[in-house]
């Protein structure tokens, strides 16, 4: 009999989507494990969150402590370590996010539990977890089982599960904070919001999205000409922004923006989930990519498997003609 | 500032079609080209920039085959002072916690102010090795770092990149481990002179025995995760695939977009 712990994530006064997504998975897995869904909330001033989460949990454990007001991987680790010792859940789910990856690996080392990251599927069979994750940015899936243990630690991919709607009436239990003092060697200073650029791509009707497949600076004019021909704004994947082809405010995906254009043209974008998570709101998606197995094609309405440098100039020419006609 | 930068030799699979081999446990990597992991490349640049401002040394650390010496020499050409490559077939490289333990074994007796590594490897993507390494060494860490400011020899101020481009600024005591996010800087190209000098720099090749690490701690038996199988997921696409020569495809797509009122 094992409970499933879910470490809820919240930031700047909001519960993050990944929390509700993990609740969906936890509520599937807990009956297989013969246990309860126990949501763990760390922070300061948590009553509202606790009430909301009781609707998707059997129990909410609430560690309300002014020392936890701002996130710190080290403090999360200390608190969770004590809670795991006391409650001994079979499975602990941590979001695979900038916060989650800042404490999950350290917690895994400290506790010595079997540990696997960024799961896209999880079930429990005969008391043992079987998990799936991906390699090569979504191009290969891997199924894992685990050596026998009393407790397992997993991080869960963002946007991989539908968010859960409230359907339960769990209890809320306040827990004394195991933190005795602040962590001095790493201190939160401030949040700095992302810069706002000239174009708000979240409002764009048509977007030309570019990725690593653009390869070099000298290929950018062809892409820009296509965008100009159809009145589109340019945006791109993390790789395109890192390469300096686009400013950061044009980045689409988990570390950038979520967009909802009528038309999204994905050029040389393989479709790693971090990017795809940001284009779920697009009405029509066109993808051009050389790799026939590129995950972006799973999202596309129209697809071309080919060299984009051969297709795009001709496409621009034809669109100019047709629109002019 | 004494810095160690941990880098990984990974296949470039961004445009490659990947096939799982007959064992079902590995992919056929014979046709891949390998190079430094993207985020690690930014970590090398950051470590060299800090050295240029603060003086000190940069030691390049990598775990991998002899072929990866080319990558290590390139990091030395960009400003690394010396390097160690750990190679031992007994290491369980599927498990990031085993990898972290090996790195910790190699670094625990070294004097360091900063250890930097990429926040994510493009092949397995665990985003775990750096933070696990910090825990093994008992030093503070910050992950997903997009800016490093050296305050003084005992303190750095770093910005962690959270979702949506939000930055979390934290102050850290040194020594510490930082996992570096892509885009933090503009990685340089290695200068010709640097490439020549790199050939003469020290590159130590070390086994588990050399490091005094027992295979029982970092090998198959140490790992608690068991890979059952790898498979290429079927891309279930409802898309209309446009066929023909490149020009025909472009024409057909243009017509669909215009007639469908999409543009």
CB A114 within 8 A of CB B224: yes
DSSP string, A220-262: HHHHHHHHHHTTPEEEE-HHHHHTTSS-GGGBBSTTSB----S
SS3 B21: coil
* Integer Cα distance of A89 and A305 in angstroms: 47
Return the residue of B nearest to A118 by Cα: B126
When computed from its CA atoms, the radius of gyration of chain A, rounded to whole angstroms, is 22
pTM, two decimals, is 0.95
Stretch B134-139: mean pLDDT: 98
Stretch B135-164: mean pLDDT: 97
* Integer Cα distance of A230 and A65 in angstroms: 54
Q: Say which residues have a Cβ less than 8 Å from residue A70's Cβ, sequence separation at least 6.
A: A188
Residue from A77, A99, A114, A140 whose CB has the most chain B CBs within 10 Å, to mutate: A140
Residue from A105, A268, A312 whose CB has the most chain B CBs within 10 Å, to mutate: A105
* Integer Cα distance of A16 and A43 in angstroms: 14
Q: What pLDDT was estimated at residue B15?
A: 75
Bridge partners of B240? A302
Domains and CATH numbers, chain B: 2-222 (3.40.50.620)
A43-47, A147-151, A253-257, range with the lowest pLDDT: A253-257
Q: What is the pLDDT of residues B11-46, one digit of tens each?
A: 988 777 889 999 999 999 888 999 999 999 999 999
Asked if A301 and B172 come within 8 Å (Cβ–Cβ), the reply is no
Q: What pLDDT was estimated at residue A196?
A: 83
Q: Does one domain contain both A13 and A138?
A: yes
Return the residue of B nearest to A231 by Cα: B263
Q: How far is CA B89 from CA A124, B65, B94, in A?
A: 32, 9, 12
Q: What is the pLDDT of residues B64-109, one digit of tens each?
A: 999 999 999 999 999 999 999 999 999 999 999 999 999 999 999 9
**For residue A182, is it within any domain?**
no
Q: Does one domain contain both A140 and A97?
A: yes
Structure tokens at B26: 């590995």
Stretch A192-213: mean pLDDT: 93
Stretch A295-302: mean pLDDT: 95
* Integer Cα distance of B161 and B144 in angstroms: 6
* Integer Cα distance of A310 and A305 in angstroms: 11
Structure tokens at A230: 């159809």
**For residue A184, is it within any domain?**
no
Return the residue of B nearest to A212 by Cα: B14
SS3 A310: helix
Backbone angles phi, psi at B116, to 5 degrees: -120, 145
Q: Does one domain contain both A258 and A295?
A: yes
Asked if A149 and B224 come within 8 Å (Cβ–Cβ), the reply is yes
* Contacting residues of A for B46, CB less than 8 Å apart: none
Q: Does one domain contain both A102 and A159?
A: yes
Mean pLDDT of chain B: 96
With a cut of 70, say whether residue B260 has pLDDT above it: yes
Stretch A149-167: mean pLDDT: 96
Q: Does one domain contain both A210 and A265?
A: yes
CB B98 within 8 A of CB B218: yes
CB A13 within 8 A of CB A144: no
**For residue A196, is it within any domain?**
no
CB B78 within 8 A of CB B194: yes
Q: Provide the H-helix boundaries in B111-224.
A: 129-137, 192-198, 208-211, 215-218
Asked if B242 and A304 come within 8 Å (Cβ–Cβ), the reply is yes
Q: Does one domain contain both A143 and A68?
A: yes
**For residue A179, is it within any domain?**
no
Backbone angles phi, psi at B213, to 5 degrees: -105, 130
SS3 B189: coil
In this complex, how many residue pairs, one in chain A and one in chain B, have their CB atoms less than 8 Å apart? 284
**For residue A188, is it within any domain?**
no
Choose the final residue of a domain: A156, A174, A192.
A174
Q: Does one domain contain both A154 and A243?
A: no
Q: Does one domain contain both A163 and A250?
A: no
Residue whose structure tokens are 């939000």: B166
Q: Give chain A's count of helices (H) and strands (E).
A: 8, 18
Q: Does one domain contain both A16 and A164?
A: yes
CB A122 within 8 A of CB A154: yes
* Integer Cα distance of A61 and A40 in angstroms: 5
**For residue A190, is it within any domain?**
no
With a cut of 90, say whether residue A194 has pLDDT above it: no
Stretch B114-135: mean pLDDT: 97
Domain extent for A234: 201-324
Q: Does one domain contain both A27 and A145?
A: yes
Buried residues in A69-92 as b, exposed as e (16+ CB within 10 A): ebbbbbbbbbbbbbbbeebebbbb
CATH number, domain of A169, equals 3.40.50.620
Q: Does one domain contain both A36 and A143?
A: yes
CATH number, domain of A307, equals 3.40.50.1220
With a cut of 90, say whether residue B236 has pLDDT above it: no
Structure tokens at A231: 């009145």
Stretch B237-250: mean pLDDT: 95
Asked if A295 and B235 come within 8 Å (Cβ–Cβ), the reply is yes
User: How many domains are contained in chain A?
Assistant: 2
Q: What pLDDT was estimated at residue A1?
A: 67
B173 touches chain A (CB under 8 A): yes
**For residue A185, is it within any domain?**
no
Asked if A115 and B123 come within 8 Å (Cβ–Cβ), the reply is no
* Contacting residues of B for A117, CB less than 8 Å apart: 96, 125-128
Q: Does one domain contain both A143 and A235?
A: no
**For residue A123, is it within any domain?**
yes
Q: What percent of chain A has pLDDT over 90?
A: 92
Q: What is the ipTM of this complex?
A: 0.95
Contacts 24+ apart (CB under 8 A), B32-35: B34/B9, B34/B10, B34/B67, B34/B68, B34/B71, B35/B9, B35/B10, B35/B71
* Integer Cα distance of A232 and A205 in angstroms: 7
* Integer Cα distance of B125 and B121 in angstroms: 5
When computed from its CA atoms, the radius of gyration of chain B, rounded to whole angstroms, is 21
> Which segments of chain A are extended strands (E)?
4-7, 10-11, 14-15, 37-43, 59-64, 91-95, 115-119, 121-125, 128-135, 140-146, 152-156, 171-174, 186-192, 206-210, 233-236, 263-267, 284-289, 302-305
Q: What pLDDT was estimated at residue A325?
A: 59
Q: Helix, strand, coil % (nearest 5) of chain B?
A: 30, 30, 40
């Amino acid at each position: 009999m094992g409970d499933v712990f879910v470490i809820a994530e919240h930031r700047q006064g909001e519960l993050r989507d990944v929390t509700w997504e993990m609740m969906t998975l936890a509520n599937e897995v807990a009956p297989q494990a013969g246990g309860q869904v126990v949501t763990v909330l760390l922070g300061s001033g948590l009553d509202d969150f606790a009430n909301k989460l009781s609707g998707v949990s059997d129990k909410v454990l609430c560690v309300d402590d002014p020392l936890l007001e701002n996130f710190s991987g080290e403090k999360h680790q200390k608190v969770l370590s004590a809670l795991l010792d006391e409650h001994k859940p079979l499975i602990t789910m941590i979001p695979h996010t900038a916060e989650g990856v800042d404490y999950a690996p350290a917690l895994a080392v400290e506790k010595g539990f079997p540990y696997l990251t960024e799961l896209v599927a999880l079930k429990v069979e005969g008391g043992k977890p079987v998990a799936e994750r991906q390699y090569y940015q979504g191009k290969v899936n891997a199924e894992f089982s685990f050596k026998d243990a009393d407790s397992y630690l997993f991080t869960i991919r963002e946007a991989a599960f539908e968010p859960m709607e409230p359907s339960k009436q769990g209890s809320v239990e306040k827990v004394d904070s195991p933190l005795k003092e602040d962590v001095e060697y790493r201190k939160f200073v401030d949040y700095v919001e992302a810069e706002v650029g000239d174009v708000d791509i979240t409002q764009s009707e048509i977007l030309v999205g570019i990725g690593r497949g653009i390869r070099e600076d000298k290929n950018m004019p062809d892409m820009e000409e296509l965008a100009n021909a159809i009145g589109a704004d340019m945006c791109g994947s993390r790789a395109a922004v890192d390469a300096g082809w686009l400013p950061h405010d044009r980045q689409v995906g988990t570390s950038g923006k979520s967009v909802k254009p009528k038309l999204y043209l994905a050029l040389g974008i393989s479709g790693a989930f971090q990017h795809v998570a940001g284009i779920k709101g697009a009405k029509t998606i066109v993808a051009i990519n050389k790799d026939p197995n590129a995950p972006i094609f799973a999202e596309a309405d129209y697809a071309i498997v080919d060299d984009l440098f051969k297709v795009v100039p001709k496409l621009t020419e034809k669109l100019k003609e047709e629109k002019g006609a | 500032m004494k810095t160690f930068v941990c880098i990984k030799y990974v296949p470039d699979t961004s445009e490659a079609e990947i096939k799982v081999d007959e064992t079902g446990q590995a992919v056929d990597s014979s046709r891949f080209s390998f190079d430094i992991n993207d985020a690690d490349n930014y970590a090398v640049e950051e470590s060299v920039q800090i050295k240029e401002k603060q003086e000190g040394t940069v030691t390049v650390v990598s775990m991998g085959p002899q072929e990866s010496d080319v990558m290590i020499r390139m990091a030395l050409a960009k400003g690394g002072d010396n390097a160690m490559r750990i190679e031992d077939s007994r290491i369980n490289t599927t498990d990031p916690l085993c990898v972290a333990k090996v790195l910790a074994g190699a670094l625990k007796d070294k004097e360091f102010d900063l250890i930097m590594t990429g926040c994510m490897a493009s092949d397995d993507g665990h985003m775990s090795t750096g933070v696990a390494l910090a825990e093994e060494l008992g030093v503070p860490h910050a992950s997903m770092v997009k800016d490093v400011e050296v305050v003084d020899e005992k303190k750095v101020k770093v910005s962690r990149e959270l979702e949506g481009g939000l930055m979390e600024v934290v102050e850290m005591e040194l020594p510490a481990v930082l996992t570096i996010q892509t885009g933090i800087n503009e990685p340089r190209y290695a200068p010709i002179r640097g490439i020549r000098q790199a050939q003469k720099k020290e590159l130590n090749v070390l086994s588990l025995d050399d490091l005094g690490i027992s295979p029982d701690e970092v090998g198959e038996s140490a790992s608690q995760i068991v890979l059952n199988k790898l498979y290429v997921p079927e891309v279930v696409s409802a898309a209309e695939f446009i066929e023909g020569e490149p020009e025909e495809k472009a024409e057909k797509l243009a017509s669909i977009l215009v007639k469908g009122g999409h543009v």
